[in-house]
Structures are given as C-alpha cells and as structure tokens.
Amino acid sequence: MYEIKDVAQDLKAAIKRRRLLLIFSPILFVLAAMLAIYFIEPKYESTTTILVQKDETLNPLVLYEIAVHIASEDRIQSLNEIIYSRSTMEFLIDSLNLNTEVKSEADRQLLIANTQKNIGTRLRATDAFEISYNDTDPVRARNGAEFLANHFIQTKLLMESRRHEETVNFFSDKLAELETIVDNQRDQTVSITSDRMQNLPSDSDALQDRLQSIDGQLDAIEWRLLQEEEKLGTLKSFQDEVNVNQGIHYLYRLPLSDMQFGDELLVLLNEYDNLQQQFTESYPRLQALAVQIKQVADRIPPTVTTNIQRLNSQKQELNLQKQRVVGDMQQFFVATQRATSQHSDFSIYEGLQAEMRVKLEQARMTRDIGMRAADQFIVLDAAIVPEKPVSPNKVLILGIGLLLGVVMGVVASAVAEVMDTTLRDESDLPFEKPIIAYITSG
C-alpha cells in the first residue's frame, strides 16, 4: 500500500513538473489542425432525387394480359453507364466551363477522370435514384447535379422514342400479315397447324424469355448506335472546319483508343499538342502534322460508317428473330385455342387479328405517351445551392488534432522524465553513502 501511494506521489510530481508540455502540446496540435482546415479547400455537394413512375401509372393497359410489354427494362438500369460515359463528361465539362485551364490532351483526360470522381449515383429504391455532384463552387455543384439528371432523362427518352416507333411499325406489319392470313388461308387444316406446332416449345414461358432477351439486345445495340452516331457527327464537324488547326479540338472528344486508326491519330495529336505549346501555327512541323492529322482523320469516318452498318445489320437480324418468335407465339396460341375449342382456323386467326389490333393500338398509345414521358420522371428533391461544405470535416480534424496533442504531450513528458538526471531527494542517489549536508532552495 505504501508503494502505491509513493508511485502516486511521484506521478503527481511528474505531472506538475511537465505541465507545460501537457498543456501546450494539445494546444499546438489543435492550432495546427485549425491551420490545416483553413488551407484545405472546401467542397460542396448538391444532390437531386428522381422518382421513375411505373409503366402502369401512365399506361393502364399494362395491367391487362393483352398489353404489349414494350418497356421491359427499367429506365434506371443503365444509370451509371450513361452518367459516367465519356460523352456525358464532355457535355458536363463544357456546360460548367471547367476546361478553362486545359492546355493539352493529357490535361483534358485528367480533368475527365477528376470530374467522374466528383459524381455519385445511388439507387434509393427500385423506382428512384439519386445523383450528386461535388465542386468547390456551391452554385456549380447545383448546376452539375441538375445537368446530369436532365442529360440522363433526355438520353433515356431518346432511346425509348426510337424503340416505341419501331414497335408500332413492327405490329403494323404483323397486323397486315394476319389480314393476309385471314383472307388467304381460311381453309388451313388442324393437322397442318398441329404439325407446325410439334417443332415449337411446349411452354410459352420459353418464348416469352426469348422475346425479352431479344429486346435487351436491341436496347444495347441502340445505345451503341447512338455512340457511333456521335463519333460520326464529331468527325463531320472536324471535316467541315476550314482551318484544320481550329478544328483539331473536335478530335479530342473522340475515344480514340477504342477506334480504328485511333492510336495513330492519338500519337499525332500528342505531338501536335506538345509543339503547339512551344511554336506558332506557321511552324513547318506543326503544319505538316496538321496535314497528317487531316489525312488520318479522313480515314476514320468510313470505319465508323461500317460499324453503324454492321450494328444496323445486327439490329435487323434481331428484329427478324423477334418476328419469328412472335410468329411462333401466334402459332402456339392458335394450337392452344384449337385444342380447347371447335372454332375453325378462320375464327382463330380472326381472333388473333382482333388481338393484334389491340396490341397495335396499345403500342401507339405507348408511343404517344412516350412523347410526354418526361412526366414519368418526377423530381422528389431538386438540386439546391448547398450552404455548408461536406469537406473538410472540421470536428473530425480538430478531434484528431486534440487526440494527437494529448498523446504527444504524454509521450514527451514521459521521455523528459526518463532523460532527467536531477537529484531531488535521497531516493535519487545512485549509491548508498552518508549524507553530510542539504542545499536548500533558499
């Protein structure tokens, strides 16, 4: 018990001797943390939340079995693919005027990468998503979030508009075919129908799954076609520019690493970019590079056109497959109806014709609704100008500074005590000898 009391007294004395270290160390670290907070540039975050209404909200026919399930994919499925695409980044940078300090293609690539890091997306539910944008300027953060939301909605509406129009044309053609069947094949026998049905799946679910798979592939090809058309438009803008030197900036918008002749053109653009920072446009090598860039760039449009033709061919093939699947479903329906009733083939096809008319009208209604489909996107939380920055976290930084200051003060005090060789009483003597005198502080 005596030893514990002795240790407590020694500890109290040590704390008293080193009180300056224990007091000033946390103060210094807190001051350093405050200085760090002052020099760290604050960042603001603006967020917008958008609700996507379900198809049956705008189109009640989807609730019935006869409705055509055109919008098979959720509109928010490709959110990240569209938001983080290079074309979206280019539009965002131009919209917010972020490229004022871009001097080379390398700077532009770095700016695109940093811009992508400032974007955040999150699905809040199956029918809602959230888009956020961070920036050092609160107004620009608000504008960035608004632009991203509007760009995503417009892109999705453009893709769906194309699909709706193609669906209407598809059902119009199928209705014409059915009218021909009704007129010309009234005498088709049950045996012929049964023989044709032997090669079809015994379950309509397989046909429905195949139809949904084809719809998904068509949507992916539609997105790739949009990208290829953007590339072709950018190249056309470059070719229309009279002054090659002024039109070269169009080429920087292209994903050259993914295009034929892109690597060759990228090497020329990098060399051109480096020389342009050192010399004027009259420099012979710059003029020669401009000619070479023009020649290489002129070879790219045919390859892009070929890609577009190839994608259109794939699209046509998928549409043919879709027609065959729908035809199989029609024949399946015919066989099923024939097995359960005594109607003639003429009556069955007449029923199909009536059903196809309903599907065509529903497809047209979906197309017309798609013209105002922006109503399906409801802004729950509009982007606003943030009042407080999201970073730096002042409380966290000050807390860490205070904690480090306390720890460093304790460590420094402990080291000072260990290194202190001052003799304060008899217990500090390194050897046992008789004491002949004391020197007092007075």
pLDDT along the chain (442 residues), means of 10: 65 76 84 82 88 59 42 57 87 87 84 90 80 90 90 83 82 82 65 55 71 86 87 84 77 78 82 82 81 83 88 89 82 66 64 80 75 71 86 84 88 78 60 62 53
Tokens of 323: 């027609």
Intervals of CATH 3.30.1890 along the chain: 42-185+373-389
Contacting residues for 5 by C-beta, under 8 A, at least 6 apart: none
pLDDT at position 77 is 56
CB atoms within 10 A of CB 202: 8
Written out in words, the top-level CATH class of the domain with range 42-185+373-389 is alpha beta
Q: How many CA atoms within 13 Å lie on the side-chain side of 51?
A: 8
pLDDT at position 133 is 92
Which burial class, exposed, middle or buried, applies to 265 when counting CB atoms under 10 A from its CB (0-12, 13-18, 19+)?
A: buried
Residue with tokens 């975050």: 45
Do the beta carbons of residue 61 and residue 134 sit within 8 Å? no
Among candidate residues 161, 155, 40, the one with its CA nearest the CA of residue 92: 155
Q: What is the DSSP letter of 24?
A: H
The sign one gets for the Cα dihedral 176, 179, 184, 188 is positive
pLDDT at position 61 is 47
Q: How many CA atoms within 13 Å lie on the side-chain side of 254?
A: 30
pTM: 0.55
Q: Tell whether omega for the bond before 42 is within 30 degrees of 0, i.e. cis.
A: no
Tokens of 18: 């080193």
Q: What is the DSSP letter of 43?
A: B
Instruction: Kindly give the pairing relationship between strand 44-52 and strand 377-381.
Output: antiparallel
pLDDT at position 63 is 40
The DSSP annotation for 374-394 comes to: GGGEEEEE-----SS-SBS-H
Instruction: Kindly give the pairing relationship between strand 128-135 and strand 119-125.
Output: antiparallel
The H or E element containing residue 89 is helix 86-96
Amino acid at 359: K
pLDDT at position 142 is 92
Tokens of 185: 């094949």
Amino acid at 335: A
Q: How many CA atoms within 13 Å lie on the side-chain side of 88?
A: 24
The DSSP annotation for 168-202 comes to: HHHHHHHHHHHHHHHHH-TT--HHHHHHHHTTS-S
